[in-house]
Amino acid sequence: MKKILFTLFFGLCTLAAFAQEQAIYSQYHAFPVLVNPGYTGFENQHQFIANYRSTWTTFPEKPSTYTLMYNGPVGEKLALGGSLFSDNAGKVSTTKLQINYAFRFQIKKMRIGLGLSTEFLNRKADSGLLNDPLVERNDDVLESLVDGQQIFDASIGGYAIHDDKLFVGLTLPNTIRTRLDEAPVDVEESNNNNLLEHYIFQMGYKISMADQNSKIIPSITMRKVRDTPYQIDLNLQGRFLDEKLIAGFTFRPGNSGAAICMLGTKLSQFQFFYSYDLSLSNFQRYTGGSHEVSVAYTFNRKAKLVSATPSAPDAMKK
């Protein structure tokens, strides 16, 4: 029984490490830049985000993920961003450095952002696993993890909103993926023959209620990312009292689905969010669910300074 539970836990943690590598967050509809590089600098503001996610909270050595991110405009058209990512799931740890680049423009009432993210990832398993009697010996995948895997990955994304109401986002993860280490096991090569093999598609509509200083935002997300099953999220978000109160609910149907509740607030330049994931599968009986917390700080870009020095002709007149 012990061996079965250990195998199940190790397998789930390994899967979680791979899945979290693809930046799956519950609060992506509050911060689209977490999953879509096309949203980098989209609001023409500088933003810092700190995110923490704890998965399967009652499990020992549960998956824990930390993300620090910045994104903001560089000039009128360009935007840059960067993030540091750290994940620990059981005996497997993952660190990642990500850099985002985006080009922003407007066509009549539609604002569009096209982005590229480049990622440098290091994943490593504790060497003590090789001596654990419950782990199968001579496992090439495990030995590769213990030696360490260094991976370069690139993703592309686009985000557009029409009249500040209808929005659409599409991310294509793993468009370029290659191993940087000399590991003999070829377990990370991606199938580049199909560009749409992995994707995150999001579409929604912002319903403004000006009299009540509120917005209702229904949206749908379809997602197929590496090492995870196909998922559909049905999201409903409400922003009330000039965003002093923010509430969201996500329903993910299916045998491996979930129900996610989110609460947040905006105080001056700060935003605070908390969400709780409740699995709809039988696995929920063995866990305390998943928790996610985000803190964001946002400030406007500086306006261009207009020189007060008089021109030469004006100076001569004086």
Question: What single string gives the DSSP state of each residue in 183-211?
Answer: -S-------TT-TTSSEEEEEEE-EEEGG
Q: Helix (H, G, I), strand (E, B), or coil: what is residue 128?
A: helix
Query: What is the predicted pLDDT for the residue at 302?
Result: 74
Which band of pLDDT confidence, cut at 50, 70 and 90, is reported for residue 44? very high
Q: If you average pLDDT over every residue of the chain, what do you get?
A: 83
Question: Is 207 in contact with 166 (CB distance < 8 Å)?
Answer: no
- Mean predicted confidence (pLDDT) in 50-72: 88
**303 DSSP 8-state letter:** P
Least reliable range by pLDDT among 50-54, 189-193, 223-227: 189-193
pLDDT at 310 over 80: no
High-pLDDT (> 90) share of the chain, % = 52
pLDDT at 14: 47
The residue with greater pLDDT, 179 or 114, is: 114
Q: How far apart are CA 48 and CA 106, in angstroms?
A: 24
Which of 72-76, 170-174, 189-193, 228-232 has the lowest average pLDDT?
189-193
Please report which helix (H) or strand (E) contains residue 147, including its range: helix 140-147
CB–CB of 66/86 below 8 Å? yes
Q: How far apart are CA 79 and CA 70, in angstroms?
A: 11
Mean pLDDT along residues 11-17: 47
User: What's the pLDDT score for residue 75?
Assistant: 87
All domains of the chain in start order, with CATH: 2-303 (2.40.160.40)
Q: Which residue has the higher pLDDT, 179 or 141?
A: 179
- Owner of token pair 């500086």: 302
Confidence of residue 210 (pLDDT cuts 50, 70, 90): confident
- Band the pLDDT of 215: cuts 50, 70, 90: very high
* Angle of CA points 17, 201, 204, to nearest 5°: 125
pLDDT at 203: 97
For residue 105, pLDDT over 80 is answered with yes
Quote the pLDDT of residue 103: 97
Q: Does the pLDDT value for residue 186 go beyond 70? A: no
The H or E element that residue 6 is part of is helix 2-21
Quick check: 195 pLDDT over 50? yes
Looking at mean pLDDT, say which of 8-22, 193-207, 229-243 comes out highest.
229-243
pLDDT at residue 249, rounded to an integer: 96
Stated length of the chain: 318
Does 19 have pLDDT greater than 50? no
